[in-house]
Amino acid sequence: MGTLGINQMKVGVTIDIAGFAYTIVNVEHVKPGKGGAFVRTKLKSLKDESILDRTFRSDDKIEEAYIEEKNLQYSYHSGEFFHFIDVETYEDLTIEKKKLHDADKFLKDNLEVMALYYKNELITINLPNFIVYTITHTEPGIKGDTAKSGTKPATIESGATVHVPLFIDVGTRIKVDTRTGEYIERSA
């Protein structure tokens, strides 16, 4: 573990607070006329995505959190457990639904995801930002509808519901932003 100074505090750096990993999402360096410099940060927990506001002074000991990344491939789920294969070791890993932080609604067969580990414990799964899915159910569109005339709910192959333009039909492949759950565009 390395110790950071406040001048090394930047957006994207991961630090350890009380044994938990936090990513810096906002940082403001302050150099007052009197007294020592300090830094105001907004931190996001990698475990539960909660936000923490924290101020650090130049004499604070700030521990860097080393996050291990592993590429996993989604295999299947049974009940509350999701099964993945470690792409490097081919080891079968079972992950509880609660550790997926809602990522489960976008999992589809053979999808590769990034697993983040801290101190050998799985923290979370990161999906690719954009994934192409096939529409499995939606109400039929009306001939002549355009993309600007509204949206309708559609079920994608992972089981999630996405709002799509009225002209999208069953069997159409679409690109979805997994961070927001929004339809982006039709895909080939």
DSSP line for 6-31? GGG--TT-EEEETTEEEEEEEEEEE-
Give the Cα-Cα-Cα angle 56, 58, 64 (nearest 5 degrees). 65
Phi-psi region of 58 (alpha: psi -120 to 50; beta: other; left: phi over 0): alpha
Would you give the end-to-end CA distance of the chain in angstroms? Answer: 46
pLDDT tens digit string along 22-44?
Answer: 999 999 988 888 888 899 999 99
pLDDT tens digit string along 140-177?
Answer: 866 554 545 688 999 999 989 999 998 889 999 999 99
CB 152 within 8 A of CB 139: yes
Residue 76 is predicted with a pLDDT of: 92
Calpha distance 108→84 (Å, rounded): 11
Q: What is the CATH number of domain 68-126?
A: 2.40.50.140
Within the chain, all domains assigned CATH 2.40.50.140 are found at 68-126, 130-186
Within the chain, all domains assigned CATH 2.30.30.30 are found at 3-64
Kindly report the CATH class assigned to 3-64: mainly beta
124-133: buried (b, 16+ CB within 10 Å) or exposed (e) per residue? bbbbeeebbb
Q: How many CA atoms lie within 13 A of 36 on its CB side?
A: 10
pLDDT tens digit string along 67-119?
Answer: 999 999 999 989 899 999 999 999 999 998 888 878 889 999 999 999 999 99
pTM: 0.74
Mean pLDDT confidence for 1-8 = 81
Tell me yes or no: is domain 130-186 CATH 2.40.50.140: yes
pLDDT tens digit string along 114-148?
Answer: 999 999 888 888 899 999 999 999 988 665 545 45
